[in-house]
Amino acid sequence: MMTKQELEKEFRELEVYADNLRKSNEQIQRSLDETNEQLRIAKAKEKEWRQKSSNDSVELDEWKKMSLHLMEQLVATKAKLEIANLPF
């Protein structure tokens, strides 16, 4: 059987252990919160990048269409000049 002093000592050790566990848990929770915030930021940046990439792709398609249209006009103009026997 344990004496009162031994029980009090063990109780204090358990309190210290519990306090250390709480501190460790708080530190882990802060770390988790920071990680979640970093993940949220990364997802937002990825979404922004995908949107920009999508917009760039649409813009590139528009430039390709415009370029194709200009090439078609150039070919048509060249054909008209050849028909009129004018050098291009």
Model confidence pLDDT, tens digit, residues 3-42: 999 999 999 999 999 999 999 889 999 999 999 999 999 9
3-state secondary structure of 11: helix
pTM strictly above 0.75: no
> Is the separation of the CB atoms in 74 and 81 below 8 Å?
no
Confidence band of 1 (pLDDT split at 50, 70, 90) = confident
Q: Please state, in angstroms and rounded to a whole number, the distance separating the CA atoms of residues 24 and 33.
A: 14
